[in-house]
Amino acid sequence: MKVLVIGSGGREHALVWKIAQSPLVTRVFCAPGNPGIGTIAECVDIKVDDLQGLLSFAKREEIDLTVVGPELPLSLGVVDLFEEYGLKIFGARRNAALIEASKAFSKEIMKKYNVPTAAYDVFTEVEPALAFIERHGAPIVVKADGLAAGKGVIVAQTAQEAQEAVRDMLSGNTFGTAGARVVIEEFLKGEEASFLAFTDGKNIIPLASAQDHKAVFDGDQGPNTGGMGAYSPAPVVTPAIHEKAMEEVMRRTIDGMAAEGRPYRGVLYAGLMIDGGEVKTLEFNARFGDPECQPLLMRMKSDIVPVLLAVAQGDLAGVEIEWHDKAAVCVVMAAAGYPGEYRKGDVINGLDEAGRIDDLYVFHAGTALKEEKFVTNGGRVLGVTALGDTVESAIEKAYEGVAAVRWEGVHYRTDIGAKAVGKKR
């Protein structure tokens, strides 16, 4: 069968890498892809928001399955369009992808269906929002309602910082239309984890646990990014927490979305805050996390294609996923200046050296080819991902790979996975 993956980041590279291993698959295409993806698949120069272009390509090439990576085409209705023409596609329909595209909608669903989350309010005007912050004090969390590439959340340590964030968002300066409405919610304490599950709208199959590192600097300092690294499994997700996440978060949300006439089909990502055995939901994403996707797919022993097909066909009953009893760690290597303005065009050295390390793969995210050399072309450039018998050994191997790769101004965190060290797997 022929498979098309939509997207161009590290998540899509990981999906292509895993899909290409399936004995069911003869050819893999990626639109638009990146040079790293181009080493294992055929890249097609179609943007992720060019829905008609993607549809025309899928029809012309007789694509058997399309897999959507990023949130933008989901929120624009790419799944609805493909299904209208009888094409198999993995991902949430537009009315279900709203669970990520609007944080206000997501909070309303959680409130209505008793999914544990932070107390909140929604604002479109500056003055009432400022008054709310004044009443509640800090720390407090300000979120842009719309899609902001994982950067639309400000954890404000002071009321002044929160008020500045509100002014920036509602004025349209920071996130454009995505910030035209803001959600302000209570600050939750605890340890974060990423909980992902495949669902056909009724049946739910959880993926292995994972933990992302959002802040740009070591020790979770500095502004939020799209993600500076991730590891799996996450020891903070104990069997008891796993059960709570499945029943109180995933089951209630998926049943709630069905009751709303918005059946959710695809992969659902819940960002959880875990504290003292209790679970609260920070956010939902309508797709695989990036970089969580990279370590998760390295740990997945099963062929992913039958799972993706079962979801696309609306019948996950009886499907099982087998996982390697190993840990995986992904360290994101970023360009100088990220998540602010960053440099492009720096030559990347050492990829061949890193590629010779066993059980390690370098997923490309923001790269380009210039005079037959890989150069930086995005904020998050590479995701160096390694398997190990333990989290500690996976960390060691991932950073061995990181040490092999070099370019001017490279930035990465040195503490990815540190929270897991010493905890029971």
Task: Name the token pair of 384.
Answer: 């160096």
SS3 state at 103: helix
What is the per-residue pLDDT for 312?
97
In a domain, 101, yes or no: no
Beta carbons of 228 and 334 less than 8 angstroms apart: yes
Secondary-structure breakdown of the chain: helix, strand, coil percentages, each rounded to the nearest 5: 35, 30, 40
Same domain, 216 and 271: yes
pLDDT tens-place string over residues 335-374: 999 999 999 999 999 999 999 999 999 999 999 999 999 9
The DSSP call for residue 208 is P
Same domain, 219 and 295: yes
- For residue 293, pLDDT over 50 is answered with yes
Task: Name the token pair of 329.
Answer: 């760690």
In a domain, 113, yes or no: no
- For residues 57 and 60, what is the distance between their CA atoms, to the nearest angstrom? 5
Same domain, 304 and 399: no
Beta carbons of 152 and 146 less than 8 angstroms apart: yes
**DSSP strands (E only) in 157-242:** 182-186, 191-199, 204-206, 211-212, 215-217, 221-224, 229-232
Same domain, 348 and 412: yes
Per-residue pLDDT, averaged over 166-183, amounts to 80
pLDDT tens-place string over residues 209-239: 999 999 999 999 998 888 999 999 999 999 9
Same domain, 339 and 286: no
Q: Which of 376, 373, 334, 364 is nearest to 43 (CA)?
A: 364
pLDDT tens-place string over residues 23-49: 999 999 999 999 999 999 999 999 999
CATH number at residue 156: 3.30.1490.20
As beta bridge partners, residue 406 has: 349
Same domain, 283 and 393: no
| 168 pLDDT tier (thresholds 50, 70, 90) | confident
In a domain, 37, yes or no: yes
In a domain, 98, yes or no: no
pLDDT tens-place string over residues 387-400: 999 999 999 999 99
> Residue 259 belongs to what domain range?
191-312
In a domain, 353, yes or no: yes
| 425 pLDDT tier (thresholds 50, 70, 90) | very low
Domain boundary, last residue among 145, 180, 215: 180
Q: For the beta carbon of residue 118, count every other beta carbon within 10 angstroms.
A: 18
Same domain, 25 and 137: no
In a domain, 186, yes or no: no
Q: Which of 45, 6, 12 is nearest to 380 (CA)?
A: 12
Same domain, 77 and 135: no
What is the CA 181 to chain-centroid distance, rounded? 22
Beta carbons of 369 and 397 less than 8 angstroms apart: no
Same domain, 296 and 366: no
In a domain, 185, yes or no: no
- For residues 203 and 224, what is the distance between their CA atoms, to the nearest angstrom? 33
Domain boundary, last residue among 312, 343, 365: 312
pLDDT tens-place string over residues 46-63: 999 999 999 999 999 999
The mean pLDDT value of the chain amounts to: 94
What does residue 204 show for φ and ψ, rounded to 5 degrees?
-130, 130
CATH number at residue 390: 3.90.600.10
Same domain, 245 and 348: no
Same domain, 195 and 301: yes
SS3 state at 324: coil
Backbone torsion region of residue 379, taken as left when φ is above 0, otherwise alpha when ψ lies between -120 and 50, otherwise beta: alpha
Same domain, 197 and 173: no
Domain boundary, last residue among 116, 147, 180: 180
As beta bridge partners, residue 368 has: 375
| 423 pLDDT tier (thresholds 50, 70, 90) | low
Beta carbons of 194 and 269 less than 8 angstroms apart: yes
pLDDT tens-place string over residues 90-144: 999 999 999 999 999 999 999 999 999 999 999 988 888 998 998 888 899 999 8
CATH number at residue 300: 3.30.470.20
Per-residue pLDDT, averaged over 175-196, amounts to 89
CATH number at residue 49: 3.40.50.20
Report the domain count for the chain. Answer: 4
Q: Which of 191, 203, 229 is nearest to 415 (CA)?
A: 229
In a domain, 298, yes or no: yes
Q: For the beta carbon of residue 40, count every other beta carbon within 10 angstroms.
A: 15
Q: Which of 335, 343, 327 is nearest to 405 (CA)?
A: 335
